[in-house]
Amino acid sequence: MLRINPFLVPVLAALIALAGGTAFAQQKSGKIVCWKDKSGKTIGCGDKVPPEYQDNASRELDKRGMTRKTNESAEEEAKRIAKEKETEKDRSEQAKKAAEQKRQDMALVNTYSNEKEIDLRRDRDLATLDAQVTQLRVMHKTASVRQGEIKGRMDQTTKSGKPSTEAQKEELARADADVRKFEHNLAEREKEKDEIRKRYAAMKERYLELTARKGGAPAPAPTAAVKK
């Protein structure tokens, strides 16, 4: 295999073009191949890439020393393929989001005749949660009263010079758990109410955007989908 100093490639290429009878000119392709190391630096040229550099990047030159083809390294190829797959995945996800947004927009304009109907639907959903909150508050109050009564009996037992019984401790633990449970449920319902207000506000805003154009034709979908 013929090897050439990479710095002499332009000179040798010119000689090849003039002489036409050298070993290079006798090749069917009439080309010179230069290969690189892992850092991307050209370290040699010749009629073919040595086996130990087959996975490295290289470039092919014609008789005039002009680069006609570049070959990426195995590592560069793997990175390129991975990037292409990631790009394709992003495109697919964006297409799905756009399709879902379109579906939601169509459902929105077909479900409501005007923005007031959205407000009424919001108020009905909030009223349902308000009823649950009212019931939970009653249950929380009952559990709190029971908790207080148990603590009172335990205090009386302690004042009489006797330790609290295991039954009293277990009863208090159950009462404490009930109070915490109702407090948690109340907090969750209040959080749900806030989410409903935000969701319907976004829904109403989107509805107005969609129906603002003449004839109520849907406007371009925004980046963030509005969930109904």
Q: How many CB atoms lie within 10 A of CB 85?
A: 10
User: Whole-number mean pLDDT of the chain?
Assistant: 83
Both structure tokens of 109: 């304009």
pLDDT in tens, the chain (228 residues): 555 555 554 544 444 443 343 344 334 456 789 999 888 888 888 888 898 888 888 888 877 778 888 888 888 888 889 999 999 999 999 999 999 999 999 999 999 999 999 999 999 999 999 999 999 999 999 999 999 999 999 999 899 999 989 999 999 999 999 999 999 999 999 999 999 999 999 999 999 999 986 454 444 444 444 444
Rounded distance between C-alpha atoms, residue 36 and residue 58, angstroms = 6
Q: Exposed, middle or buried by CB within 10 Å (0-12, 13-18, 19+), for 90?
A: exposed
pLDDT in tens, 77-134: 888 899 999 999 999 999 999 999 999 999 999 999 999 999 999 999 999 999 999 9
What is the three-class DSSP state of 104?
A: helix
